[in-house]
Amino acid sequence: MNDLTKKKKVSAIPYLLILPTLFFVILFTVYPLIASFKGSFFIHRLNIPKYREPVFCGLENYSKLFQSEEFRLILLNTVKYVVVLVPVTVVASLFFALWLSKERFRKFRVAIFHPAVLPLVSAATIWMFFFTPDYGLFNSLLGLFGYKGPENWTGNPKMSLWALVIISFWKDAGFYMIYYLAGVQNLPKDVYEALRIEGAGPIVSFFKFTLPLLKRTTLFVTTVAVIGAFRTVDHVIVLTQGGPSNSSSLLLYYLWQVRFEHLNVGLSSAITIILVLLLLIFTITNFLVSEKGGDNV
Amino acid sequence: MSNTMNIGISKRKVFSIITMLIAIVIALAWTIPLFWSIVASLRPVGEPFARGHVWFGSGFSFYNYKHAFSLAPFGRYFINTILLVITVLAVQLVTSSLSGFAFAFYKFPGKTILFMIVMLQMMIPTVALLVPNFQTIRSLGLYDTILAMAMPFWGSAFGTFLFRQTFMGIPRDYGDAARVDGCNWFMIFKNVYLPMSRSTVIAFSISSISWHWNSLLWPLIITQSDTARPLTVGLARFTQLGEVGAQWGLMSAATLIVAMPLIILFLIFQKRFLEGYMNSGLK
């Protein structure tokens, strides 16, 4: 008996140490995933007595969503928002890192990084003024470059989504820069010395060495950026409330509206599942593209 | 010969001056929003913003701050935010360091699958699951409390991951030697592992504090009264008050009341912040 327990020797300690974390992750991530999945097959509307208790409806919530022009627009907005914001911000953050890793530019790090510690609500409130037509500073700045287009950034359905992109770009580029700075610091200095002696220009050494060497950092940063883009709607809440006519609504914002304004629990569960799937498609594609790129190096 | 060298040097000098100028312009452009809001918040009462009058007023005044405090209980919001970030961080540090230690130090059946379950939380933001989580918090009877805002974040995949990374960098021999000497897990954890993870504790604390100081959507959903509302929710509601409208001075003051504590901490502990975040990336 004693021998047997000794041989197995599966200690309970590691499980107990993990238990608190696991408990909260299961309660607030795993269980809600399952609950949303299940809930998405039920009509469950708190403002309609008949549906106050969930009624099974198969795929009706999904078909309703994909038939709705409103939802398709919001889905498209979300994809546009992620596809534009993430690459632009990540590229900018890489350039900031390469630039600010130089000793003489070091002191500018604080200036570029500081928006990261600003709450997005605050940033959006400040930018609300910058986007004001007529005297807003952003328009004045664009005016310096000869911009004469429409000025009502948050009120124009063609511009409102880009207003959100601009704010996030300004706020996040400095934040992601930090991860690249950490990566740049670990680059082998002797390689660059050798490159310089061989007469390779900065552009060649950037594409041939810097970029491939920072591949892991890039994968990390793009993943963080994609998840961040899906997660943040604070600027939507403050600046545009999704308007005008849903032109700047994002999935998470819409999910919130459907749940707490339309009180439609079933439909919002279906949106949750679509949001999670879309997020996974983005992060997994990103991962696969990055892995594939590795074969060429 | 010496002539060409002179040209070479001055060319370099010109180039370095130009790049420095570009750097200054970019850095200034990047900080304009913050500078403007500071200046705007100090504008005296009754001086509206208009074309050509977007920066300085006729003088400086703290009226906007006083007015903001009279329109909304920012003091109360401030205390709530402090309570929120402490409630989150205190528990996270314990749960994450313990689970990180378990994943780094022990071999046990199911380790990989358990780790993947925890890491799921890094891929799927908790706030995206707001529909069922709202229900959970309601059934726990916690709606409109600090706990309601904090609890979903008590298990942290990010924290677990960071501590695991740090602990895996510590040679196993240290822990094994202590075990041979008869130390139990807690003594190994406390005397060997924890003391070597100071920078991780700092890095994780900084990111957790700024994360939850700045979060809006979940607290907005799960609170309904000023007794629990944090600063961000207070500000979001404030900007939508009828009497606030487009009073940019007043809005700026409110914005800065919310943002300043972190900004000031950041300016004081610049190096720690930047290094903290640098340490929190993948190595």
pLDDT tens for each residue of A133-166: 878 888 888 888 888 888 888 889 999 999 999 9
Is pLDDT of A5 > 60? no
pLDDT at B52: 74
Structural domains in chain A, sorted by start: 68-296 (1.10.3720.10)
Average pLDDT over residues B89-107: 96
Q: Which CATH number fits domain B72-240: 3.40.50.12780, 1.10.3720.10, 3.40.50.880, 3.40.50.150?
A: 1.10.3720.10
Mutate to test the interface with B, among A13, A15, A25, A138 (most CBs of B within 10 A): A25
Greater confidence (A188 vs B76) lies with B76
Looking at residue A236, its pLDDT comes to 96
Lowest mean pLDDT segment, chosen from A9-23, A140-154, A157-171, B18-32: A140-154
A 24-43 residues with CB < 8 A to B: 24-33, 35-36, 39
Does ipTM exceed 0.85?
yes
- In the numeric block, the tokens 């074309």 are attached to B51
Q: What per-residue confidence (pLDDT) applies to B1?
A: 46
Is residue B9 over pLDDT 80?
A: no
**Minimal CA separation from B212 to chain A, in Å:** 9
Tokens at A68, concatenated: 């709705």
Report the pLDDT value the prediction gives residue A8, as an integer from 0 to 100.
55
Domain ranges for chain B: 2-59, 72-240
For chain B, give the percent of residues with pLDDT over 90: 69
Whether residue B27 is predicted with pLDDT greater than 50 in this model: the reply is yes
Name the band, by pLDDT with cuts 50, 70 and 90, for residue B48. confident
DSSP per residue, A199-232: T--HHHHIIIIIHHHTHHHHHHHHHHHHHHHHH-
Asked if pLDDT for residue A190 goes beyond 60, the answer is: yes
Task: Quickly count helices (H) and strands (E) in chain B.
Answer: 14, 0
What pLDDT does A133 receive?
A: 83
How many residue pairs bridge chain A and chain B with CB atoms within 8 Å of each other?
Answer: 266
Q: pLDDT tens digits for A214-240?
A: 998 999 999 999 999 999 999 999 999
Percent of chain B topping pLDDT 70: 96
Question: pLDDT tens across B173-213, in order?
Answer: 888 888 888 889 999 999 989 998 988 999 899 999 999 99
Give B-chain residues touching A256 at CB under 8 angstroms: 130, 217, 221
